[in-house]
């Protein structure tokens, strides 16, 4: 019988990089018996000028064969009392070590110029990663925030590995002379994507909390052009293709705003979004079934609305609002549903990729998302960072999100058999 999967994390807020590295390594080694298979490091952008020193310091004191990580505007980890803590805008270092028996762990760096064209066959993406789709790998991805190719990367990986979970985020916290702080196998990279593929005896489950609540009813797109909504009709109309009841989206939105409370009307002036349903075959849409996208602009003459995604006839959409209360209720709803519907053993470890727009600036108090997660996962070590964009699945496809918290929950696959 193999040893159990085990994750350990430590967090340091020492202002000296040497002292922080020494503290987190000593702590995680105390928590583990034996060698680790994977190290994940997140470092505060307050240490930006010292990113080049981090890898040599870790290489001197760690013998973990695979390491990935990045810099962030804030980092998340476990403090000395084994409570999750979100450290924002001050020096901090979060180190996770994971023992992953019967798991194949493969790290990679993808330079921007190596990305295949989206018209390339799946084999081009498989050759890039070096893992066969038959191995059913899951991916943790950390990307350069200054690259415009992240969406292409996600589409390509979904194309080549359609059954695989992909989570992660864009590094954050300021540009270095060499670009962003991305770390892979004790090397610092300034651009591209670093990541790890995990296959074998491992399950990676996700919770993607986009921080919004729906308002009004759902509609079907009757007419659209690229990212522009031209007409909508009620989604429960069985003959929606006839377009006899279609109306301009702006007219529908104006009527909807009249039904809202004064508080929500004020909120809609700056925090109104569009949710695009990702499951075409689901009759009753639930919380979390929508991909939240920005409302980019309106054309008062045509009554059209431009959004931050392509649309096509037949898709269902719903307007959404975002604020601190909506974000809190959204995450709590998703965590509660996960526990009510998932027959799972205790998770070995977890990762959080949270938007820079969340945290204390959104909630007015520290540690909100991580503490709420711990209410449902009492003894699960969690680590992560505050991102310039969050990577996670909605409706079976992987997307780059904003204002979102993406959680990755890891456990052995054989415990579910």
Global confidence as pTM: 0.93
CA distance 260 to 249: 17
Tell me what pLDDT residue 236 has: 60
Chain-centroid distance, C-alpha 49: 26
Per-residue model confidence (pLDDT) at position 3: 75
Is residue 416 within 8 Å of residue 167, measured between CB atoms?
no
pLDDT of residue 176: 43
Task: Check whether 185 has a pLDDT greater than 50.
Answer: yes
Quote the pLDDT of residue 244.
Answer: 55
Provide the pLDDT for residue 1.
46
> Taking the domains of the chain in order of start, what are their residue ranges?
6-209+327-416, 212-322
Each residue's pLDDT tens digit, 329-363: 999 999 999 988 877 667 999 999 999 999 999 99
Mean pLDDT check: name the lowest of 154-163, 295-304, 323-332, 334-343. Answer: 334-343
Residue entry with tokens 């540690």? 367
Q: Evaluate if residue 264 carries a pLDDT over 70.
A: yes
Which run of H or E residues covers position 223?
A: strand 212-225
Q: Cα separation of 176 and 153, whole Å? A: 23
């Amino acid at each position: 019988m193999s040893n159990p999967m085990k994750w350990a994390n430590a967090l340091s807020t020492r202002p000296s990089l040497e002292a922080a590295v020494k503290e987190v390594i000593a702590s995680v080694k105390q928590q583990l018996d034996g060698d680790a298979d994977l190290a994940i490091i997140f470092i505060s952008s307050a240490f930006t000028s010292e990113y080049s020193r981090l890898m040599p310091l870790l290489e001197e004191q760690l013998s973990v064969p695979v390491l990935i990580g990045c810099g962030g505007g804030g980092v998340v980890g476990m403090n000395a009392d084994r409570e999750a803590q979100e450290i924002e805008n001050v020096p901090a270092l979060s180190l996770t070590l994971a023992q992953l028996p019967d798991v194949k762990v493969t790290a990679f760096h993808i330079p921007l110029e190596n990305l295949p064209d989206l018209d390339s066959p799946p084999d081009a993406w498989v050759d890039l990663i070096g893992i066969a789709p038959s191995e059913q790998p899951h991916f943790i991805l950390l990307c350069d925030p200054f690259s415009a190719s992240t969406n292409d990367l996600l589409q390509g990986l979904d194309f080549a590995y359609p059954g695989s979970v992909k989570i992660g985020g864009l590094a954050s916290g300021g540009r270095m002379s060499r670009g962003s702080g991305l770390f892979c196998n004790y090397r610092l990279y300034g651009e591209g994507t670093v990541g790890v593929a995990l296959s074998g005896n491992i399950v990676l489950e996700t919770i993607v909390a986009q921080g919004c609540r729906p308002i009004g009813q759902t509609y079907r797109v009757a007419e659209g052009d690229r990212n522009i909504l031209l007409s909508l009709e009620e989604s429960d109309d069985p003959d929606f293709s006839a377009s006899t009841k279609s109306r301009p989206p702006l007219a529908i939105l104006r009527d909807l705003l009249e039904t809202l409370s004064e508080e929500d009307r004020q909120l809609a002036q700056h925090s109104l979004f569009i949710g695009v349903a990702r499951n075409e075959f689901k009759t009753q849409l639930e919380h979390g079934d929508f991909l939240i996208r920005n409302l980019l602009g309106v054309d008062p003459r045509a009554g059209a609305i431009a959004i931050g995604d392509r649309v096509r006839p037949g898709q269902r959409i719903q307007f959404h609002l975002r604020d601190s209360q909506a974000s809190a209720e959204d995450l709590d709803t998703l965590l509660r549903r996960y526990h009510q519907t998932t027959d799972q053993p205790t998770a070995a470890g977890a990762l959080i990729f949270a938007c820079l727009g969340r945290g204390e600036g959104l909630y007015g108090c520290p540690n909100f998302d991580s503490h709420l997660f711990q209410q449902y996962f009492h003894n699960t070590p969690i680590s992560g960072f505050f991102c310039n964009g969050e990577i996670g699945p909605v409706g079976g496809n992987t997307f780059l999100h904003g204002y979102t918290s993406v959680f990755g929950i890891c456990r052995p696959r054989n415990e579910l058999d």
